[in-house]
Structures are given as structure tokens and as C-alpha cells.
Chains A and B, each alone.
Chain A
């Protein structure tokens, strides 16, 4: 499955006793296999929204249900396990572990899940081949280009076999060529593995590829467009 149902979601930051409403009442349903872009200007609440969906931040009000489980009700330890086994993350700055090779970076997530060494190495190699850098599995992030690092990051996000992948401005640090290659790769993964992808982005190229574009402004959804 992998249905995300968000109801009446609010996030209010109490900054210096002047409340800031970052997310101000969002209702949304994202179905399994969607390829969705969350767009909006800086400060619109995209990242806060994504953080709450990813269980990294706690809503002030409202609930996020994933396959019927309200992740806001999960105790911290269970929430960590939930993230590990159900959500893949792709970050703007790749955020790979610099002392590990590409293969180790991907395998690491599976180790956290308790998979055996041979199994995780095999899956890591396969994933890196799928994302097109099978010949660079022994390189460390510092020896890879930005585009290649982000591919490793996508492979890492897929490694845990998540219900959905959250990508926060994944193309912001990439050139056009790398961006297009990465988007094609994610679309391929989306189609082949039926993995749900949710992006936050400003990037028109991402919006062009997305099949659903949700615009957020001042913490509320101002448009929700489904492409054919």
C-alpha cells in the first residue's frame, strides 16, 4: 500500500513568543505510486510540511496517517524504526557518509534494518547498478560528482524498500544534465518499483516531470494539479 492521508495539518513555531504559522491547515491524500512535486516560494512551508510527513518534525495540530497509522502518535523509538523501514530520504546536499564507499553508504541502511552482510552488499551493488554507477561502488563520496552522489543518495533511499521517498530539493545543487538524468532515474524507479516520490522543489524541470503538482503558499495548499 502506501497511502498518505493528511488532515488539518498545522505547524506553529513559537519564535520569541511571536507564533509563526509555517503550516496552516493542510488536507491531502497521496496514493501509492504517485510522483508528486510540492512547490511554492521560499518560506511557504514546503520543507516543514515534508519534515512532518517524514516524521522528522511533530505537527502542532492535525494528523498524518500512513496506511492507517497516525505517525504523530508513535513514540520516538518507534518513529525512528518507522522512518527506517518505511521512508526513504533524498537530501538537497546528498548527505552521504564521507568515510564510507558508495556501496557501504547504501548497505549501511540495510545494516540498520538488520540484514546480513552478503544480502545487503548484493542489494547495494544491484541498486548502484540500477542508478547507473555500478562501476563506482568502491568510491567515496568525495571522489564522486554531485550528480553521482545524488544517485548514491537515491540508491540509499531505495535500499530500505520504503513505502515512499521524500526528496527535499534534490536537484538544487545539480547542473541541467545531472538534473535530467536524476529525474529520469527517479521516474524509472517510480514506474518499475511503484515507489511513491514526493519532492519539494523550486525547479521547473522537476515540475515538468512531476505528475501531480501541489502548490503551497503561506502554509496552505493553493493549488493541486494532477497531470494526465
Chain B
């Protein structure tokens, strides 16, 4: 009957209970939706980084990472690629030759990263070919083509079929030039990447820089799923440590290649949890206030309960249950509203077109697909219950301290 009394007590002052329930609903749904937004934003950023920029695993000559010079190539790349392709979970492998250079038009010039790729393999590894806003991807035939980012095109004030002059140091350190024809313009929604990276055929770049067409600076590996990254990494490390010295190749997963991204994700996750806890602390004060009013209003009744023989344990439980009901109802509505919102925007995406420029400048997409794991909903529900229990302690203590003899004579 204590459960029943607590439940009915919740509805004694409907307006007051509804106000605190609405506060819990809004606070909780706000917190969860914020989490889902941050999670979606970061997951998309990871997905974009893996799909467009770095892939799951990369292999380099360790010296290349210290000094990005053309001469630091991977030895026997064909054999390495052959072995990687045999590993289960590997979707595709692409070898690249890379060099820093300068892209110039008649009007202006800017520094770029020259990615010499094998178009057929690269299509399997990165999704740049699917993100062309104009023109087409690199083909085997045709005159020295180049694919550039939309941001770079704007910066260089160039367009499709225009020529760009690429200047870079060759293998001997001598500056060389090459004229490339813009055949495709891509847009990954990451302005920094789009402005920096240009894609040319590996053979064209090797010829221009006086390198061997079989030279490779970077091998990129894409897996069937991102979750396989660590597993495949272990297999590759085991495989290559037998025959190849660690001084010759270094195998790194995406989160080691861009540690800042990983740190950002962890920070975002942590901030979301902190944000949630802050919301609940604020709500706890509201709940404490409401329950204090409840206790003050019912001094006479609580005094009577103590007088007739209700012990402190039961009295505490009654007030705690009332607090939990009050919080859980608001909490469940909050969970429901946030679940529906997350499902909707998880499917259709939340458009932030008004802030597109800013988001893209930071490498984020302006359409965010919200997502939250089941474990976060459970974590939040548990937090709400804990908050309610903690919030009930002070009002319940007030009730426990009542002297029944004086409480039953209170005029309220």
C-alpha cells in the first residue's frame, strides 16, 4: 500500500507534479538529443575521415612520416599488397605516391598534397570518386588529368577542363613542373581536406617527379567494417614482423594516424556525459524543492503516520518512491521524446544548412544523422533513478525528524 500511497500522492497536486515532470522531460530529452547529435556528428566525421581521407589502416616507410620526402618509399610494395589482400576482412588496398607541391593558375597559387593513385584501386578504398560535383574521376587514358576539391577550385578560381600547373621537388630535390587538366571536382564537406588534396594518376606523378612508377610512399587498406581495424592490424603486424623489419614499414590504424580525431571523439563523449550529469544535478534541485514543499504541506499527515506507528524506514521509502515516480514519469517521457527525435533525425538527418560553411571549415558535415546507443538510454534511466533517490534524501530526512506530537497539531 506504500507504493499505492506514493503513487496517489504524486497526483495530489497535479499542476506542481506536472511542472517538475515537464522539467525532467525537457532536461532529459535535451541532454540525450545533445548526446545523439554530438555522437552522430563525430561518427560521421570518423566515417568521412576513413572513407575519404585515411582509410582504416595505412602503411608507410617510418622515415617518410618524419620527413615527407618522395625518396622514403616502401620496399617491395607488390609483395606487401599481395599479403594484405589475403587477410580476411580486407576489402581493398591502394598504393599511393605522395608529394607536397604547389598548384598554380594564371591568377594565383597554393600549396597542395599531390596524391598519385591507381584510380581503379583507389575507388575501392576511398569514396572521392563518389563525391564529384563536376566532371569525372581519373581514367587510365586521356591527357594528364587531375581531380581537385571544390574549395581549391574556388581558391584558384579555376574550373573543369582548365589547366593547373603543378610545381614540386623531384627525387633529386630539383623543382619540376607539370601541366594538369582538371577533369573532376569533388566535395567531401571537409574544406581543409578539399583545399589541400589533389588526385592525379600515379604514373603521371612518378614521371613528373622522376620516380619509379612502381614506387610507393603509402599503402591504404580499407576493411569490410571499421570494427575489424584492431583485429586486422594485429594480423598484419604479426605477418610482417616475421619478414620485414619495423624500420622498413610502420602499420598504423586510423586513430593513430589522426590522434586528434580520436581525442576529439573521447572528449565529445566525456562532455556529453558531463552535460547529462549537470542537467540531472539541476533537475535534482528542482525535485528537492518540490519534495520539500510536499513534506512541508503534509506535516500533519506525516506526524499522524509516525504517531500511529509507521516507522522511519517505511516513511523514508514512501517519500523516496514518490520522488522516484515523479522523476521516472518525466524521465520516461524524456526518453520517449528523445528516442522518437533521434530515430527521425537518424533516418532523415538534421540539416544545419545555415551553418554549413562553419561546419565544413571544421571538417564536419552540415547534415547530421543523430545516433545514440541503447546503453546510453539505460545509463540515463539509471542516472534518473539515482538522482531521484539522492533528491529524496533531504526531504525525507526532514520528514523523519518531525516530532509526531507537534506535527499533528500543525495548522496546515
Chain B contact-residue range equals 20 to 34
**Interchain CB contact under 8 A, B405 and A99:** no
Chain A contact-residue range equals 20 to 34
CA distance A131 to B70 in the complex (A): 102
A84 part of interface (Cβ distance < 8 Å):
yes
B1 part of interface (Cβ distance < 8 Å):
yes
A41 part of interface (Cβ distance < 8 Å):
no
Q: Which residues of A contact B305 (CB under 8 A)?
A: 97
**Interchain CB contact under 8 A, B1 and A84:** no
Proximity string of chain A (82-111) to chain B, C-beta cutoff 8 Å, 1 when within and 0 when not: 011100010101010111100010011101
Q: For residue B276, give the distance in angstroms from its CB to the closest CB of chain A.
A: 33
B98 part of interface (Cβ distance < 8 Å):
no
Q: For residue B270, give the distance in angstroms from its CB to the closest CB of chain A.
A: 44
Interface residues of A in 49-77 (CB under 8 A from B): 51, 54, 56-57, 77
Q: Which residues of B contact A98 (CB under 8 A)?
A: 12, 301
Q: Which residues of A contact B4 (CB under 8 A)?
A: 100, 104
Residue from B9, B300, B304, B403 having most chain A Cβ neighbours under 10 A: B304
B309 part of interface (Cβ distance < 8 Å):
yes
Q: Which residues of A contact B311 (CB under 8 A)?
A: 77, 80-81
**Interchain CB contact under 8 A, A160 and B405:** no
Q: For residue B332, give the distance in angstroms from its CB to the closest CB of chain A.
A: 22
B310 part of interface (Cβ distance < 8 Å):
yes
**Interchain CB contact under 8 A, B5 and A56:** no
Residue from B4, B308, B311, B408 having most chain A Cβ neighbours under 10 A: B308
**Interchain CB contact under 8 A, A54 and B1:** no
Interface residues of A in 30-60 (CB under 8 A from B): 47, 51, 54, 56-57
**Interchain CB contact under 8 A, B1 and A104:** yes
Q: Which residues of B contact A89 (CB under 8 A)?
A: 304, 307-308
Residue from B1, B5, B300, B305 having most chain A Cβ neighbours under 10 A: B1
**Interchain CB contact under 8 A, B5 and A51:** no
**Interchain CB contact under 8 A, A99 and B9:** yes
Interface residues of B in 304-352 (CB under 8 A from A): 304-312, 314
Give the contacting residue for B5; candidates A54, A99, A113; CB below 8 A: A99
Determine the residue in chain A with the shortest Cβ distance to B6: A99
**Interchain CB contact under 8 A, B309 and A84:** yes
List 13 A–B pairs whose Cβ atoms lie within 8 Å, in order of A's numbering: A80-B306, A83-B307, A84-B310, A89-B308, A91-B408, A95-B300, A99-B5, A99-B9, A99-B12, A107-B1, A109-B308, A112-B308, A113-B309
Q: Which 4 A-B pairs have the closest CB atoms?
A: A84-B309, A99-B8, A95-B304, A56-B405
Q: Write the residues of chain B forming the contact surface with A, with a CB cutoff of 8 angstroms.
A: 1, 4-5, 8-9, 12, 300-301, 303-312, 314, 403-405, 408-409
Given contacts A77-B311, A95-B300, A112-B310, 18 further A-B contacts (CB under 8 A): A54-B307, A56-B403, A80-B312, A84-B308, A85-B309, A89-B304, A93-B300, A95-B304, A95-B408, A97-B5, A97-B301, A97-B305, A100-B5, A104-B1, A107-B1, A109-B309, A113-B309, A160-B309
